[in-house]
């Protein structure tokens, strides 16, 4: 079983490739839920949905969020009622949030609900939220604290990041199956997601980082930073805001207590010796996944790296 730790868009590109290279039934994905947001009384899990929609083949890959060909008629009327409409909710997407919220209100856990949703799409990969408890990623800016979605979507990630808090994370526990998956995986992949606010919350759930340190499975990460810039999203703002340079080297440092190998972009080949000086293996590859072939190629490369590490660790 291959285990992947994932945020939203960046991760799902690699997962799309992986699911074509290995039997998806052999893939487990632990997904960040720190971005989750409650709007209009609905529990919305953007990263979980992006991963499921992508693996189901219904994601809008151009926009990077939501469902391909979705309409926005409910949202237009929510606006008419004076409700907050900065978070885009397509009509089909809304059905997912309605279904999830109704099941949660009936007492189902987020793990159970996530499993029902991915099965409704015949997604064969197992999708686990990082935790059943609600954790909220809060971004500290000069204008005060903001929820992550409000910082990113409502305000367009304009403000400098002064800090990040994962609210209630101390009280959260890994979702059922998460620690077992880390322990029993044949290989673990940290997807090219924002290491601070996508992978960061997953690692901060008490027990998960420790389990990654303890597992016998080899662990490979893919840097979302290429030649000093984040490929998409505000990864650079978060790295800078927390005092890290915007470089694959920072990704190596953030993961180095449990990571075996970091895949960096070809353009960063010069960083290989510096990263290896951290007692990490490093490998340069084409990490830009702008077409299906490149997703598959990077997935294959990642699996080759994992295979090369098998039996090597500890």
**Contacting residues toward its own copies, per CB under 8 A:** 40-42, 70-71, 73-78, 80-83, 90-92, 94-96, 98-99, 101-102, 105, 116-117, 120-121
Report in angstroms how near the CB of residue 176 gets to its own copies at its nearest.
Answer: 22
Residue whose CB is less far from its own copies, 102 or 304: 102
DSSP secondary-structure letter at 288?
A: -
Report in angstroms how near the CB of residue 75 gets to its own copies at its nearest.
Answer: 7
Q: Hey, what's the torsion of the CAs at 38, 42, 43, 49, to 10 degrees?
A: -120
Residue whose CB is less far from its own copies, 75 or 251: 75
What residues contact 44, with CB distance under 8 A and at least 6 apart?
A: 36, 37, 38, 87, 89, 97
Q: Exposure of 181 by Cβ count < 10 A (0-12 exposed, 13-18 middle, 19+ buried)?
A: buried
Report in angstroms how near the CB of residue 22 gets to its own copies at its nearest.
Answer: 26
Which candidate, 142, 241, 143, 147, places its Cα nearest to that of 194? 241
Q: How far is CA 307 from CA 99, 126, 187, 217, in A?
A: 39, 21, 8, 10
Coil vs helix vs strand at 51:
helix
Q: In the sheet where 2-6 sits, what is the strand order?
A: 126-129, 27-31, 2-6, 187-190, 219-222, 261-265, 281-285
Report in angstroms how near the CB of residue 284 gets to its own copies at its nearest.
Answer: 42
Report in angstroms how near the CB of residue 98 gets to its own copies at its nearest.
Answer: 5
Report in angstroms how near the CB of residue 307 gets to its own copies at its nearest.
Answer: 38
Distance of alpha carbon 182 from alpha carbon 57, whole angstroms: 26
Distance of alpha carbon 205 from alpha carbon 133, whole angstroms: 10
């Amino acid at each position: 079983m291959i285990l992947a730790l994932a945020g939203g868009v960046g991760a799902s590109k690699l997962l799309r490739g992986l699911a074509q290279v290995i039997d998806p039934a052999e893939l487990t994905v632990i997904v960040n839920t720190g971005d989750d947001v409650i709007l209009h009384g609905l529990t919305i899990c953007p990263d979980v949905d992006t991963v499921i929609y992508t693996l189901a083949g219904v994601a809008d890959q151009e926009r990077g969020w939501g469902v391909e060909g979705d309409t926005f008629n409910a949202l237009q009327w929510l606006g008419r009622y004076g409700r907050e409409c900065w978070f885009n909710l397509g009509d089909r997407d809304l059905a997912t949030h309605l279904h999830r919220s109704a099941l949660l209100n009936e007492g189902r856990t987020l793990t159970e609900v996530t499993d029902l949703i991915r099965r409704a799409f015949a997604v064969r990969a197992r999708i686990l939220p990082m935790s059943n408890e609600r954790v909220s990623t809060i971004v500290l800016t000069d204008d005060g604290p903001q929820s992550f979605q409000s910082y990113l979507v409502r305000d367009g990630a304009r403000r400098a990041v002064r800090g990040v808090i994962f609210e209630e994370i101390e009280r959260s526990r890994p979702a059922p199956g998460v620690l077992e998956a880390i322990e029993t995986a044949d290989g673990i992949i940290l997807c090219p997601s924002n290491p601070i606010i996508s992978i960061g919350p997953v690692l901060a759930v008490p027990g998960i980082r420790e389990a990654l340190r303890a597992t016998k499975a080899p662990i490979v990460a893919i840097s979302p930073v290429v030649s000093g810039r984040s490929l998409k999203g505000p990864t650079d703002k978060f790295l800078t805001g927390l005092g890290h340079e915007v470089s694959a080297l920072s990704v190596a440092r953030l993961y180095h207590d449990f990571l075996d190998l970091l895949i960096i972009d070809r353009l960063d080949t010069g960083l290989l010796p510096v990263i290896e000086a951290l007692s990490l293996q490093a490998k340069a590859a084409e990490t830009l996944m702008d077409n299906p072939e490149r997703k598959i190629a990077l997935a294959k490369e990642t699996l080759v790296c994992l295979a090369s590490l098998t039996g090597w660790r500890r």
